[in-house]
Structure 1
Amino acid sequence: MAKTKDENTEGQILDAAKDVFQAKGMAGARMQEIADKAGINKAMLHYYYRSKQLLFEAVFKSAFSLLAPQLNAILNDDSSIEDKIKSFTSNYISFIIKHPYLPNFIIQELNRNPEFILKLTEKKGFPNLEKFKIQIDNDVKNGLIKPISAEQLFINILALNIFPFLAKPLIMALTKTDDKNYKQLMEDRKTEVSSFIINSIKKH
């Protein structure tokens, strides 16, 4: 009889892989360690995921499927631009603190395999900027914010939120901070980033 994949086992594997990838990164993670943590043998792990890359992609998709709908909901709700910036920043930073491997993985995958990200854009809940663009255009026309394109504003939000996680070792070295204080720095950025961006577009 052919083996069938069990959802509980698959869930255990993804949870174990997330923990190992988070602790060791993609390069440092070992399939044997993931199998041990999941409470299965390596052969069983390879039956579910033939390679570490495929397992990493599955962990990424699982995490991204939780984050993307949250961000999309914020972009498309009826709140003000100011509240959107605050909510987006707070949600993103909270999520990445829990899944710190994600930003580097996204950059790695974009460079290595652009089609992988294109596949994600087809999934339900992938962030859609159309309503955000209309809202920005209307706020600019009504004199509520300084002239800026929605695309440039969104890139500013992403850049200020993502870079500190991508450059964690550099930032820790430059600021002479340890891991605990780095986490506090990132928590503080929830208000720092949103205030910085809001003040940059607000008409005084």
Structure 2
Amino acid sequence: MAQERNTEELIIEAARRIFIKRGLAGARMQDIADEAGINKAMLHYYYRSKEKLFEIVFDEAFSKMVGRLGAVLNKPMPIEEKIRTLIDHYITSIAETPYVPIFVLNEINQQPEMMIKRVSSQPSFPDIMAFMKEVVEAGKKGIIKEISPLQLFLNIVSMCIFPFVARPLIQGIFQQDNIQFNMLIEERKKLVGDVIISWLKP
């Protein structure tokens, strides 16, 4: 059993690398077998299709990206604290798996209908609509100014994700090594929160 688990883990890791580089459409089972260092017959013994492998890799990646967010969004707390906590958790999650945003966005752009359906049916998919209602209610009560909750959501996501998507550009232009970039990301947790909260002040 341990040997089978090790082989499965080897295949999943190889599939992850291939799908990140080539996506679902560009990947072949032979590529995955070669990457895992096994023959194609053994790969088919464990996984009959690349689509099944892709489901496993995508679901794992998506769960890592949003897993912590659901817990924050569902927890009762003041709206300002919730937004700051959401930003902190989101940036931390991306920093741990920086390949995930590009991988997920690429696949959604390649096959939007299928991927949006898959994303929205994930058990870990956060209740974004409930959060948006909270934002609207907070605006009506004067706790924050009345703004579009969709614009708030887009601002948070884009401000958190962009540094990771543009990492090679940022490190190249500003001559930052990995330690400096990680420090930049750590600083960004508070900075993004400050910018968003300042915008929301009534």
Could you say which residue in structure 2 is the equivalent of 1:35? 36
2:139 corresponds to which letter in structure 1?
V
Could you say which residue in structure 1 is the equivalent of 2:21? 26
Q: TM-score, normalised by structure 2?
A: 0.79
Q: Check whether the contact 2:62–2:104 (CA below 8 A) recurs between aligned residues.
A: no
Q: Percent identity?
A: 39
Aligned equivalents of 1:182 and 1:25: distance in 2? Answer: 22
2:21 corresponds to which letter in structure 1?
M
Q: TM-score, normalised by structure 1?
A: 0.79
Aligned equivalents of 1:42 and 1:192: distance in 2? Answer: 49
Q: In the TM superposition, what is the alpha-carbon distance from 1:44 to its structure 2 partner?
A: 2.5
> What is the number of equivalent residue pairs in this alignment?
191
Could you say which residue in structure 2 is the equivalent of 1:72? 70
Q: In the TM superposition, what is the alpha-carbon distance from 1:97 to its structure 2 partner?
A: 1.5
The change in CA–CA distance for 1:188 and 1:13 in structure 2 (over 3 A counts) is farther
Could you say which residue in structure 2 is the equivalent of 1:193? 192
Q: In the TM superposition, what is the alpha-carbon distance from 1:11 to its structure 2 partner?
A: 3.7
1:42-191 equivalence runs, <5 A = 43-47=41-45, 48=47, 50-51=49-50, 55-114=53-112, 115-191=114-190
The change in CA–CA distance for 1:58 and 1:49 in structure 2 (over 3 A counts) is farther
Q: In the TM superposition, what is the alpha-carbon distance from 1:161 to its structure 2 partner?
A: 0.6
Root-mean-square deviation over aligned CA pairs: 2.8
Q: In the TM superposition, what is the alpha-carbon distance from 1:31 to its structure 2 partner?
A: 2.8
2:11 corresponds to which letter in structure 1?
I
1:36-93: per-residue Cα shift (whole Å, max 9, x none)?
A: 4xxx555423442644x76455222113224434212211210122122222112111
Aligned equivalents of 2:115 and 2:5: distance in 1? Answer: 24
